[in-house]
Amino acid sequence: MNAENNRFPRTPYILLGLGAALFLFGSWWGLFLAPREQYMGDVQRIMYVHVPTAWNWMLAVIFAFVSAVMFLFTSNYKWDSRLEAGLEVSSLLAFLLCCQGSIWAKPTWGVWWDWDPRLTSVAVLLFAFVGIIALRNFVDDAARRAIWSSVATIIAAVDLPIVYFSVKWWNSLHQQPSSPKTVSSDFYIPLRVNAFAILFLMTGFIMLRARLASRRLANEVSTVPLMEAGETA
């Protein structure tokens, strides 16, 4: 029996390759083919990376939340490996989101950062997930680590609806959510292409990171049944 139960060993690499190709294509379209926006000018082109990052970050947080719930219900360690992957990749995307937003905020709002409800709630979730990753590194016992980080992830994920509705609930400086339905047809092709690009990249990253987590778990804890430690994403 192999400690790694990789049913699809090449899938993450295919997804990463596809995601990188789509990202190049979508970015080229957004930078050079899409028209300049009327008020924000060329700065609006940041939308083609910022909005897809935001959508996929939300998906990554939902993935981490579902993994945490599934671990608590099943006690199957493959969900703990997926949780670890979801936490790390969603932290990466949240950090990226804050950097892109900050760069976009300077020419449009005049500041790099503002304690606006949307920005603050994203930052809270980023720091919460980074804290949970740190917690996982400090706890040696695999069972406690999995349970504690699952519970903490479920609590932290309560912030996600606040992030989404913050621009509706409060008179936020941040604009309302964008979607292909709310932007001109000239703009939504690169938006959609980059949304799929980052989706494929995120999925590839999560699969590889879950594989790494399951390997470490299988090497670390002999009491964990290997099939349960095996990553099956």
Partner 1 sequence: MRGVVVGGWNYVIAAYSVTTAMLIVYAVSLFVRLTADRGPRTEDKG
- What does the binding site for partner 1 look like in residue numbers (CB under 8 A)? 1-4, 16, 23, 27, 31, 38-43, 45-46, 49-50, 53, 92, 95-96, 99-100, 103-104, 106-108, 201, 205, 208-209, 211-212, 215-216, 218-219, 226
Q: Which is nearer to partner 1, 50 or 118 (CB)?
A: 50
Which tokens hold the place of 204? 């590839």
Smallest distance, partner 1 to C-beta of residue 201, A: 6
Smallest distance, partner 1 to C-beta of residue 72, A: 26
Distances (CA, A) of 23 to 62, 91, 103, 164, 190: 23, 20, 19, 25, 9
Q: Which is nearer to partner 1, 53 or 121 (CB)?
A: 53
The DSSP annotation for 75-86 comes to --HHHHHHHHHH
Q: Which is nearer to partner 1, 36 or 144 (CB)?
A: 36
Q: Which is nearer to partner 1, 43 or 147 (CB)?
A: 43
Terminal-to-terminal C-alpha distance of the chain: 18
What single DSSP character describes residue 171?
-
What single DSSP character describes residue 9?
T
Q: Rg of the Cα trace of the chain?
A: 19
Q: Which is nearer to partner 1, 38 or 137 (CB)?
A: 38
Smallest distance, partner 1 to C-beta of residue 120, A: 21
Smallest distance, partner 1 to C-beta of residue 44, A: 8
Rounded-to-integer distance, Cα 163 and Cα 169, Å: 10
Q: Is residue 150 within 8 Å of residue 83, measured between CB atoms?
A: yes
Smallest distance, partner 1 to C-beta of residue 203, A: 13
